[in-house]
Amino acid sequence: MLFQVRMDVNIPLDMPSDKANEIKAVEKAYSHDLQRQGKWRHIWRISGQYSNISIFDVESNEELHNILQGLPLYPYMNIEVMPLNRHPSSIHEDDR
């Protein structure tokens, strides 16, 4: 199942920078692992914002939910999820 996920990060301004940097490092490792597994297929930064648009390829809604809740920055995010379906006019035979 493919999902588009928008993540807007809002780290509190009063969070000590060493704590914020530690959380970001753990987040990066977590996302790299999911990308290697093929579950986090694409990630794009939204210019001028601390936000991204990502494509996830997971087995279920629950798996996506668990992945997102496992993000170290999850407590500081606003997240929008959009399920994706193949369009009948697509010329591609797979979900590259």
pLDDT per residue of the chain (96 residues) written in tens, 0 to 9: 999 999 999 999 999 999 999 999 999 999 999 999 999 999 999 999 999 999 999 999 999 999 999 999 999 999 999 999 888 898 888 766
The CATH class of the 2-82 domain is alpha beta
For residue 71, the 8-state DSSP code is -
Q: Do 51 and 9 touch, CB atoms closer than 8 A?
A: yes
* Domain locations along the chain: 2-82
Q: Give me the sign of the Cα torsion angle 63, 68, 69, 71.
A: positive
pLDDT of residue 96: 61
Look-up of token digits 């996830």:
56
